[in-house]
Chain A
Amino acid sequence: MSKAPPNAETKISSFILMIIFIVLALSLTALILATSIYFDQGNGVVAGYLLLLGFLGVALSTYVLFQARRRILRLRIETPPIITTIECKKCGFKSVREFQRGDYIFKEVEPCQKCTDKMLITAIFREIKEKERATP
């Protein structure tokens, strides 16, 4: 679950977006021009420069766009799911559900579905999967 309210910090500036798209459009034009100059006029040097400029422009604008997007993703507050485990001490029946406000470890909750004895919250935790990295 994540949320990002629409405020200044979580939005890509429209000015930056405009510049990115202008650069992208110019770069694409340069690429198209490069191919037409090379094939129609056979001028390899000018076509080469235009090709270089076009690729650089596309790479740069895509990089800036991804960087801006990454900044926004980084700003989001992740709230991992919290699991509450409820156990019946008498018959051992166990149930797992999402955490609800008011839950705490060793709280007596609803009666057991099997033996109608009172059940107890025995665990509240979050599970996160970490990537295994070999360390020396």
Chain B
Amino acid sequence: MIAAMASLQNQIAQEPLGEFSWILTLVFYAFFFIFMFYGQKIQMYVMIREVEGSLYKLKYMKDEGRKIAIETIKEIGKPQTDPTDRVNRFLEYFTITPQSLDPVGIVWKLEHILDVRDVRFKDEVKLMAPSADETQINNLENTLEVASVLNYIYKVIRHYYLLGKKTLSYYVIIQIQMILPLIMREAEAYVNALKAFSNGQPIGDGAGALVAAKLMHGYEIRKVPKDNVVASVPIEGRTAYVIKAEGPGGNVGKTGDAVKTIIEENEGKIAAIIMTDAALKLEGEEVGEVAEGIGAAIGGPGVDQFKIEESILKYRIPINAVIIKEDIGDSVSPMRKEIFDAVDKAVERIKQVILERTKEGDKVIIVGVGNTIGIGQ
């Protein structure tokens, strides 16, 4: 075979392609001119194809989300009628944020809108799943919200894909193609969240809630507004008011209200507040890394962070934060072992902060922030 190839090479070298040479020259020029005049168009078609491939995947994810939501509702809620139409309607719900031209009082307006949305969602889920208990309703609501997010992502990407195809605008296509890997990552994370929410499994975002649960477990628990629980726990000679959202249903509670209630109950005599939450890590950082800092460690639309900051400002209470690092995929998918193990490290770090920053006999507030799905107390 090697000998045959060598002789072929010799033959080609001796005969400079003969009658084929003009064809090759023509092909070369054709390629040259095609790429000179249509290079960008070809590149655009390649990009459109790439977006199309991702769109197929997003469509599959969206359909899976809808299917899982309907199946879970049928299984848990045992509805009399088919919930498909109601689910389809739910997936199209939208929320209009308040006007911010005059930002004064916008937090309260936003809070009101979010409250109305929450009540509406809960009522819808109760109608869809009449046999579900409170915990299951919370889980179903979370499942439907994830399905709704997947539906929205699909529709936005489809919009830009069709717009790009229609206008053949390089800039419309390129902007969606450039951010597509990040969007796909987020969408994949939400798909993982679907199963977790429908089964009621703890998710990565619940790391903060789990820290609080570990601290308060075995102590007397009472409810505080809204959807939160608190326990008075003796830690290193101090009294710690440990707050978390009421589990085990998918719930984040209104942490701002709970913190305010405890501060007011104690007439502001709180030596320190320690907030613990899951936080997004940067690429290269380890999952489950525990870090410490200052400030209100809480995500969401900002209403609770605002309320907590208002309350601590009134009484000049120092606020500390202990975070557990994870990426977006980990935060909404079932809790990873690394995050679960990091919870014990976070508990130790909180105790260390209490020892260093407060005196014996002081009162402190520990807030475990995050979705408490699959986590009791």
A79-136 at interface with B (beta carbon < 8 Å): 79-80, 82, 99, 101-107, 123-128, 135
A9, A45, A47: the one within 8 Å of B57 (CB): A9
Q: How far is A128 from B333 in the complex, measured between Cα atoms in Å?
A: 12
Query: B201 in the interface, Cβ–Cβ < 8 Å?
Result: yes
**Residue of A with least CB distance to B7:** A44
By size class, the interface of chain B is 35 or more
Inter-subunit contact A105/B374 (CB<8 Å): yes
Query: B368 in the interface, Cβ–Cβ < 8 Å?
Result: no
- Residues from chain B with a CB closer than 8 A to the CB of A44 are 4, 7-8, 11-12
Separation in Å of the B151 CB from the closest CB of chain A?
Answer: 16
Query: A77 in the interface, Cβ–Cβ < 8 Å?
Result: yes
Query: B220 in the interface, Cβ–Cβ < 8 Å?
Result: no
- Given known A-B contacts A74-B57, A104-B202, A135-B284, A126 and B376 have beta carbons under 8 A apart: no
Most buried by A among B7, B53, B337, B340: B340
Interface of B is mostly: helix
Inter-subunit contact A99/B201 (CB<8 Å): yes
Q: How far is A101 from B334 in the complex, measured between Cα atoms in Å?
A: 13
- Residues from chain B with a CB closer than 8 A to the CB of A7 are 60, 63
- Residues from chain A with a CB closer than 8 A to the CB of B8 are 38, 44-45, 47-48
B4, B217, B334: the one within 8 Å of A126 (CB): B334
Query: A62 in the interface, Cβ–Cβ < 8 Å?
Result: no
Inter-subunit contact B374/A124 (CB<8 Å): yes
Query: A69 in the interface, Cβ–Cβ < 8 Å?
Result: no
Q: Please give the number of chain A residues whose Cβ is less than 8 angstroms from any Cβ of chain B in the complex.
A: 30
Inter-subunit contact B4/A82 (CB<8 Å): no
Separation in Å of the A30 CB from the closest CB of chain B?
Answer: 15
Query: A75 in the interface, Cβ–Cβ < 8 Å?
Result: yes
Most buried by B among A7, A47, A101: A101
Inter-subunit contact B377/A82 (CB<8 Å): no
- Given known A-B contacts A80-B334, A105-B375, A125-B335, A48 and B12 have beta carbons under 8 A apart: yes
Q: How far is A62 from B283 in the complex, measured between Cα atoms in Å?
A: 35
Inter-subunit contact A9/B374 (CB<8 Å): no
- Residues from chain A with a CB closer than 8 A to the CB of B267 are none
A47-67 at interface with B (beta carbon < 8 Å): 47-48
**Number of A-B residue pairs having CB atoms within 8 Å of each other in the complex:** 90
Query: B336 in the interface, Cβ–Cβ < 8 Å?
Result: yes
Q: How far is A106 from B202 in the complex, measured between Cα atoms in Å?
A: 12
Separation in Å of the B228 CB from the closest CB of chain A?
Answer: 16
Write the B1-30 contact mask toward A (1 if CB under 8 angstroms, else 0): 000100110011001000000000000000
Query: B210 in the interface, Cβ–Cβ < 8 Å?
Result: yes
Inter-subunit contact B340/A125 (CB<8 Å): yes
Inter-subunit contact B336/A128 (CB<8 Å): yes
Query: B298 in the interface, Cβ–Cβ < 8 Å?
Result: no
Inter-subunit contact B201/A82 (CB<8 Å): yes
- Residues from chain B with a CB closer than 8 A to the CB of A74 are 57
Inter-subunit contact B213/A126 (CB<8 Å): no
- Given known A-B contacts A80-B334, A105-B213, A124 and B376 have beta carbons under 8 A apart: no
- Residues from chain B with a CB closer than 8 A to the CB of A123 are 340
Q: How far is A101 from B72 in the complex, measured between Cα atoms in Å?
A: 11
Inter-subunit contact B375/A104 (CB<8 Å): yes
Query: B56 in the interface, Cβ–Cβ < 8 Å?
Result: yes
- Given known A-B contacts A74-B57, A75-B60, A107-B248, A125 and B336 have beta carbons under 8 A apart: yes
- Given known A-B contacts A79-B195, A126-B335, A106 and B213 have beta carbons under 8 A apart: yes
Most buried by B among A10, A77, A127: A77
Query: B191 in the interface, Cβ–Cβ < 8 Å?
Result: yes
Q: How far is A77 from B15 in the complex, measured between Cα atoms in Å?
A: 57
Closest 3 pairs between A and B when the two form their complex, measured CB to CB:
A104-B248, A106-B376, A125-B340
Chain A residues near B (Cβ < 8 Å): 7, 9-10, 38, 44-45, 47-48, 71, 74-75, 77, 79-80, 82, 99, 101-107, 123-128, 135
Chain B residues near A (Cβ < 8 Å): 4, 7-8, 11-12, 15, 53, 56-57, 59-61, 63-64, 191-192, 195, 199-202, 210, 213, 217, 247-248, 284, 333-337, 339-340, 374-377
25 A-B pairs with CB atoms under 8 Å apart are A7-B63, A44-B4, A44-B12, A48-B11, A75-B60, A77-B61, A77-B192, A77-B195, A82-B201, A104-B200, A104-B248, A104-B375, A105-B374, A105-B375, A105-B376, A106-B217, A106-B375, A124-B201, A124-B202, A124-B335, A124-B374, A125-B202, A125-B335, A125-B336, A126-B333
